[in-house]
Amino acid sequence: MIPAPFLLYLGHSADALGIKTSRGLAEFRREDCVGEFRHDDSPLTLGLPRMTMAEAVAAGAKTLVLGIAGAGGKLPAELIADAKAGLEAGLNVAAGLHERLRDQPELASIAQRSGLQLFDVREPPRGLSVGKGTPRAGHRLLTVGTDCSVGKMYATLALARGLQARGVAADFRATGQTGILIAGAGVAVDAVVADFISGAIEQLSEARDDDGWDLIEGQGSLFHPSFAGVSLGLLHGAQPEALVLCHDPARPHMRGIPGRALPDLGLCLERNLEAARLTSPGVRAVGICLNTSGMDRDAALRLCAATQDRLALPCTDPIAFGVEPILDRLLCTDISTRSTTASH
């Protein structure tokens, strides 16, 4: 386990999507976050006290979390310099990038000399097997998306907590760096060798016989040329009984690919269901989650209602409006008199 409390890193970032790991920790483990570290040129904030490394240590912080992510998961020079400053101030350092902290000789040397630890979250487990697609017991839901970073982790966590609030056994199964930091366990699926992706998810979400649910965090999108392979491996390994489609209606194009439009929601959902049927023939769609954080409440509610009518599925923003309509459909309760707007 990574020692808390945390100092969350924003660095020089001006990309709100790029700080999703720090933002996720601030949202779901706020009690473990003492502050944020950012340089003067970063306009972003998590609403936490801005601190220097030394101030964070004085406030009780144990670990600097480099909670930013860029294309390719690189460790740029400025990030290494700030990690070094954190170590020299007395902080452990955690990161979820593809390039490893431990592979940076200067960081490894300081950590060893100071008795501190470097945590590389994107480390796949050892001993993985290829997926078999053998039917296994238990209820599993997988979130899928029209694009990357559209709210799949947020939706999955909200669904898990919603089930728990109803007294249903439910576990969040993390598949990305942010989810792993929040949950304390999981598989960074995009760091797994391609042949073993579906097997890694079979191992992450094993058979269960308690009538409970595994809520599996989705990654990427079947329609994103860069990451569709990871998405497909997740669909096959999860053997989901249910899918929830996540979408950001404000997204102008696929992340990182200007000019490539996002897919139609109905088409995206059908393609995901089609792919999932390879290992789960009875899979069904149970809802749509929209990230309406850039919209006013009334406009967001209207969009949820219109999307619900068009696709004949419950539609909500899981953070703004909750997930009750989707849970009703998931648990097969009567939803004939309920709607997204009536629920809120």
Instruction: Check whether residue 329 and residue 218 sit in a common domain.
Output: yes
Q: How many domains in the chain?
A: 2
CB atoms within 10 A of CB 253: 12
Instruction: Check whether residue 60 and residue 167 sit in a common domain.
Output: no
Are 108 and 80 within 8 A, CB to CB? no
Note the pLDDT of residue 132: 96
Note the pLDDT of residue 150: 95
Please indicate, yes or no, if residue 110 is contained in any of the structural domains.
Answer: yes
Please indicate, yes or no, if residue 301 is contained in any of the structural domains.
Answer: yes
Instruction: Check whether residue 311 and residue 162 sit in a common domain.
Output: yes
CB atoms within 10 A of CB 297: 12
Phi first, then psi, for residue 320 (nearest 5°) are -75, -35
Please indicate, yes or no, if residue 278 is contained in any of the structural domains.
Answer: yes
Instruction: Check whether residue 106 and residue 232 sit in a common domain.
Output: no
Note the pLDDT of residue 96: 85
The pLDDT averaged over each successive group of 10 residues in the chain (344 residues) is: 94 88 93 97 96 97 90 78 96 91 94 95 88 96 96 97 97 94 92 95 96 97 96 98 97 95 97 98 98 96 98 97 97 48 38
Instruction: Check whether residue 116 and residue 144 sit in a common domain.
Output: no
Instruction: Check whether residue 187 and residue 335 sit in a common domain.
Output: yes
CA neighbor of 206 nearest in space, from 115, 273, 274, 134: 134
CA neighbor of 3 nearest in space, from 119, 157, 82: 119
Instruction: Check whether residue 306 and residue 203 sit in a common domain.
Output: yes
Instruction: Tell me the two tokens of residue 214.
Output: 């595994």
For helices 105-114 and 77-89, the axis angle rounded to 10 degrees is 10
Domain of 158, in residue numbers:
139-343
User: Of 120, 153, 188, which one is at a domain's C-terminal end?
Assistant: 120
CATH of the domain at 174: 3.40.50.300
C-alpha triplet 173, 135, 281: angle, nearest 5°: 95
Three-state SS string over the chain comes to CCCCCEEEEEECCCCCHHHHHHHHHHHHCHHHEEEEEECCCCCCCCCCCECCHHHHHHCCCCEEEECCCCHHHCCCHHHHHHHHHHHHHCCEEEECCCCCHHHCHHHHHHHHHHCCCEEECCCCCCCCCCCCCCCCCCEEEEEEECCCCCCHHHHHHHHHHHHHHCCCCEEEECCCHHHHHHHCCCCCHHHCCHHHHHHHHHHHCCCCCCCCEEEECCCCCCCCCCCHHHHHHHHHHHCCCEEEEEECCCCCCCCCCCCCCCCCHHHHHHHHHHHHCCCCCCCEEEEEEECCCCCCHHHHHHHHHHHHHHHCCCEECCCCCCCHHHHHHHCCCCCCCCCHHHHC
Instruction: Check whether residue 152 and residue 285 sit in a common domain.
Output: yes
User: Of 71, 86, 120, which one is at a domain's C-terminal end?
Assistant: 120
Please indicate, yes or no, if residue 219 is contained in any of the structural domains.
Answer: yes
Model confidence pTM above 0.85 = yes
